[in-house]
Amino acid sequence: MDRYDIIVVGSGPAGATFTRILNENNRVLMVDRRPLDKKPLNVIKNCGGLIAPDAQKALAGFGLSLPVDILVTPQTFAVETLDFDNNMIRSYQRHYVNVDRELFDRWLLSLCDTQNVQKSFSTHFIGAKKTKDGYIVTLKKENKRYEVFTSMIVGADGANSKVKKDLMQKENKPEKYVSIQEWFENKTELNRYVAIFDNEISDFYSWVIPKGQYIIFGSAIKENENVHKLHQLQKEKLARYGYDLSAPVKRSGSYILRPKSFKDISLGTKDVVLIGEAAGFISPTSAEGISYAMISGAQLAQALNKDMQNFASLYRKNSTSLRCNIIKKMLKYPFMYNRFIRKIIFKANIGTLDIKT
């Protein structure tokens, strides 16, 4: 049986950043169920692909700049906010970078090509059994199951983390939303982002994002609601505003977490550790998760590089500001999601853009 010091489950921004920063003394296996070694073809990562200022700052802090071939047109700096609860529209300046999310992930992954890291794609984490000095992990590739031994498992497997579900059952579970995204031809040459607040659909939000020749429409709806019906209803409402969302060319869906307190963040133990959205790191107000994923991945790697024995307490310490950041975002919550407060803000035109066409 192959033996590793660390198995990283998931090679999204959290797993890729962790692996890139971890020093080369550890024998690492990184697995991902996505076929990340094959051409992108029809694979679509369910994401808006907007690199927010916090993610830009994190990349700058890593000394990285984005390669031009992962950028997508248009690069636009306005978000139009449709408030269906109050029947109001306002525009704001926003500083996102528009990328192809699948290519962004592959670029981050390409930066962790070191001898000590073995990568295995189209490989599913199936489960793990505890032994006295580590875990026997079951993986599945091309319908074949096999086992490997590891001293430590790093769960970087996103919102629906199987590592957390199987190995950390007592941990708190943040609220889960289901997010469906559909792609449509951009027939009207939409060149701004659109955020939709509509309590009839969700207490979170929906969005339209231009992406090359397409626009993406997505919504985040509580998992126990009638997600498909509400998603459809939101499209019908948008049609009244001139959005042609009648013929999707691609569709994807996934969970999205909404942490609301410190308890919703689970960092793990000394042999099963969580990073990124698996740990609950994501903004509860905007669903921006790329920065949290990269930063938490880096913080765990730095803790391990510094002190293998006491890394768990170091990781907790390193990530204090990231955890506090989620609570800070919660302070913004009523201003965005309470319809009465939002109406006052909109009426007062606080921070709005005066769009001259």
Ligand X SMILES: Cc1cc2nc3c(=O)[nH]c(=O)nc-3n(C[C@H](O)[C@H](O)[C@H](O)COP(=O)(O)OP(=O)(O)OC[C@H]3O[C@@H](n4cnc5c(N)ncnc54)[C@H](O)[C@@H]3O)c2cc1C
Please give the residue ranges that form the binding site for ligand X (CB under 6 A): 9-15, 31-34, 46-50, 52, 55, 124-125, 156-158, 162, 179, 181, 218, 254, 256, 276-278, 282, 287-290, 293
Structure tokens, 53: 């200022």
Q: Quick one: 15 or 134, whose CB is closer to ligand X?
A: 15
Minimum CB separation of residue 156 from ligand X in Å reads 5
| Shortest distance, position 348 Cβ to ligand X, whole Å | 28
The phi and psi torsions of 205 (rounded to 5 degrees) equal -150, 170
Q: Which is nearer to ligand X, 62 or 346 (CB)?
A: 62
Q: Could you tell me the smallest distance in angstroms from the CB atom of residue 303 to ligand X? A: 17
Least distance CB 354 / ligand X (angstroms)? 26
Considering the complex, what minimum distance in angstroms separates the CB of residue 254 from ligand X?
5
Q: Which is nearer to ligand X, 26 or 46 (CB)?
A: 46
Residue number, nearest CB to ligand X = 289
Nearer to ligand X, 64 or 88 (CB): 64
Shortest reach from residue 264's CB to ligand X, in Å: 14
- The nearer residue to ligand X, 178 or 303, going by C-beta atoms, is 178
When the beta carbons of 165 and 316 are compared against ligand X, the nearer one is 165
Q: C-beta of 190: minimal distance to ligand X in Å?
A: 16
Cβ proximity to ligand X: between 7 and 312 the closer is: 7
Question: CB-wise, 90 or 211, nearer to ligand X?
Answer: 211
Residue 307 Cβ vs ligand X, minimum distance, rounded to whole Å: 24
Contacts of residue 55, defined as CB under 8 A and 6 or more positions apart, other chains included, come to 288, 290, 291, 294
Radius of gyration of the chain (CA): 21
Say how far apart CA 56 and CA 99 lie, in whole Å: 12
